[in-house]
A and B are shown apart, each in its own frame.
Chain A
């Protein structure tokens, strides 16, 4: 039996096509993946991401405790700042990729992937030194309002001055009468907000946003568009592009690793890998031949399998077949060429600069 978010009935009423995602009954599309994708790039889209988990650290030393678990440095953040980071195992592989919200030195909320919630909580509980984590996932629904019109849609519904909430900053306030954490974060490459609210008020907030956004071209958007949007940005998806067998250095996420900060789980493994040289890298590529790269397709060089595609699609905005995959470090430079094996046939591909798409 799949778990349901508080918006399950609302999705069905909108005629969404529902699929199982990480044990949750979620909308994959309402009308069309491409239409929803384009709405987010040109106007706005509204996503239900209530399946995400939230793990809280509250008490003296909360920031230090979280800092001992994450690759990025929360001690350098201001209160009201959000931070993307890796939660690693002792070998340096990803347990998860997370966003940590620093309310104060004594209060941090970590947003985790739905598929990893129980695993993360157990891992954090076993490795946290200091403040004990609390799984608060049942206390939050989460809506993501994303797109160039997001601020214009949200501002009339809230007293919060959105002009003062910068990228990867957040604040607390009411939206359409609902108490929310209002964060300028997202997973689409567009400006936008993620709103955390009590589950019982999620539907009221959802409806208020859809109504306010309608005249701006806002569309409800499903997991299909969420996936194609993040792929065009080369944002990693846990379980596809990153997992417990790949480190942030291999995944091209060196920028979320601060080896100069105090010890964190996985640090010594990363130091070793850095000293020895990173053997493979996650690259973005375009197919120059016909076809679409997909998760799991082999990457070949001169007929020999050297890597694997981790994500791929026909980018709805870039209008090209694009992919992400691990290749040996020697094939990772922009302009390097290899082949992707599609149904037994090698198709030419070339490493390109990422993100594949950049907003004007």
Chain B
């Protein structure tokens, strides 16, 4: 059983978004990190990059697999988690904390395409 905080919004692609001071902090879920296995490399966009909800914004690699990252919301990247370059395992160990990926200044207030924790955990079955 994974850990899925109730204060987050989720995507069907296993990303989460947390509203903070009008911005969104984005990461991958506990399910995603567990399915990936040991994360060894994360490729993030540059600060200033423009994301489109549902579009890819980077890649995450485990020892075996390469997976794309899909943006939960549209907007401009204002911060990236530089620490992941040296400590990609933070994604496994703390996916909602030190394993965060990017912070986005949203360009569209509508987040109705995101799902809540109940819908997400139902999706996981």
CB distance from B90 to the nearest CB of A (A): 14
Q: In the complex, A228 Cα to B61 Cα: how many Å?
A: 14
A224 touches B40 (CB 8 A): no
Q: Quick one: given A227-B64, A343-B59, are A292 and B37 in contact (CB under 8 Å)?
A: no
Counting contact residues on chain B (CB < 8 A from A), the size range is: 10 to 19
Contact with B along A278-307 (1 / 0, CB 8 A): 000000000000111010000000000000
Which of A17, A228, A290, A291 lies in contact with B63, CB distance below 8 A? A228
Which of A35, A224, A291 lies in contact with B41, CB distance below 8 A? A291
Please name all residues of chain B whose beta carbon is closer than 8 Å to the beta carbon of A28 when the two chains form the complex. Answer: 64
CB distance from A239 to the nearest CB of B (A): 15
Please name all residues of chain A whose beta carbon is closer than 8 Å to the beta carbon of B66 when the two chains form the complex. Answer: 292, 294
A34 touches B38 (CB 8 A): yes
Which of A32, A291, A292, A294 lies in contact with B38, CB distance below 8 A? A32
* Of B37, B63, B66, most A-chain CB atoms within 10 Å: B63
Q: Quick one: given A227-B64, A313-B63, A314-B63, are A32 and B37 in contact (CB under 8 Å)?
A: yes
Counting contact residues on chain A (CB < 8 A from B), the size range is: 20 to 34
Output the nearest chain A residue to B65 by Cβ-Cβ distance: A294
Please name all residues of chain A whose beta carbon is closer than 8 Å to the beta carbon of B40 when the two chains form the complex. Answer: 34, 292, 313-314
B41 touches A33 (CB 8 A): no
Which of B43, B61, B63, B85 lies in contact with A224, CB distance below 8 A? B63
B37 touches A33 (CB 8 A): yes
B61 touches A292 (CB 8 A): yes
Contact with B along A15-29 (1 / 0, CB 8 A): 001000000000011
B43 touches A29 (CB 8 A): no
CB distance from B100 to the nearest CB of A (A): 20
Output the nearest chain B residue to A231 by Cβ-Cβ distance: B63
Q: Which of B53-109 contact A (CB under 8 A)?
A: 59, 61-64, 66, 85
Please name all residues of chain A whose beta carbon is closer than 8 Å to the beta carbon of B37 when the two chains form the complex. Answer: 17, 29, 32-33, 224
Q: In the complex, A32 Cα to B38 Cα: how many Å?
A: 6
What is A's interface to B at a CB cutoff of 8 Å?
17, 28-29, 32-35, 37, 224, 227-228, 290-292, 294, 313-314, 316, 321, 343
In the complex, besides A224-B63, A314-B40, 17 extra interface pairs with C-beta distance below 8 angstroms are A17-B37, A28-B64, A29-B37, A32-B38, A33-B63, A33-B64, A34-B40, A34-B63, A227-B64, A290-B41, A290-B43, A291-B41, A294-B66, A313-B40, A314-B41, A321-B41, A343-B43
Question: 4 nearest interchain CB pairs?
Answer: A314-B40, A33-B63, A34-B38, A292-B41
